[in-house]
Amino acid sequence: DAGITQSPRYKITETGRQVTLMCHQTWSHSYMFWYRQDLGHGLRLIYYSAAADITDKGEVPDGYVVSRSKTENFPLTLESATRSQTSVYFCASSEGRTERGGEQYFGPGTRLTVT
């Protein structure tokens, strides 16, 4: 099915482990985003990408790494997970510099627990 998917949907990992969250979209949208959502903090932008091989930091990038070798994929890696990174992570995409560029399409989220 077309759309934006995230995997895994749920993940439990231990402090210090590396973990990668996957995001895939089928629309060929130029922009992709990673957010985290914690109680009391709304959505916070971690990283975003305007196109393949172009990434930029958001509001809370520390402890995270992203890459975008293909337009449709935007993986997020926690290099050494900490308990403070326990959160729900959302991937989103948008068309970018078009009339509809401002609309974002969100994946279903990944609930990550770091023990």
* Of residues 11 and 18, the one with the C-beta less far from other proteins: 11
CB of 38 to other proteins, least distance (A): 11
* Of residues 44 and 73, the one with the C-beta less far from other proteins: 44
Q: List binders of other proteins among 35-54 (CB under 8 A).
A: 41-43, 45, 48, 50
What is the spatial distance between Cα 20 and Cα 8, in angstroms, rounded to a whole number?
Answer: 9
* Of residues 2 and 14, the one with the C-beta less far from other proteins: 2
Distances (CA, A) of 102 to 28, 32, 67, 76: 15, 12, 22, 22
Contacts with other proteins by CB under 8 A lie at 30-31, 33, 41-43, 45, 48, 50, 90, 92, 94-99, 101-109
